[in-house]
Amino acid sequence: MAKVIRWIPFVVLFSVVCFFLFQQSPVVRFPVNSDKWAHFLAFVTLVLSARLAVSVRRHYALLLLGLVFFAVVSEVMHGTDFWSRRHFSYPDMAANLLGCFVGYALALQLDISFPEIK
């Protein structure tokens, strides 16, 4: 049961990030180029919550690689015809990736983790 509870923040945050990233048109209108902060903070919180979800470092590394992949692919998907009102943006992708790396550095620095549950 404790393992399931640890995943709840990550799953909720991932769902919220997916909701906002994959809308047909942006839900919140930001001033020009200020949405990069939202991209950055979304991925910082995702990576930190992922660290809370897993207790084994190699599992965290795999989850982190998945989030880096998601950071790139989510932005590339905006360049497809499926999202007609969204567009591909290198700065958004850079903000996503920077959020992943800063979140990882914070998780290492703060040593955010739970004891391993067997």
Return d(Cα 106, Cα 47) in angstroms, integer.
9
The pLDDT of residue 10: 94
**pLDDT tens-digit readout, 47-58:** 999 988 887 778
pLDDT of residue 110 exceeding 70, the answer is yes
Contact between 41 and 99 under an 8 Å Cβ cutoff? The reply is yes
Length of the chain: 118
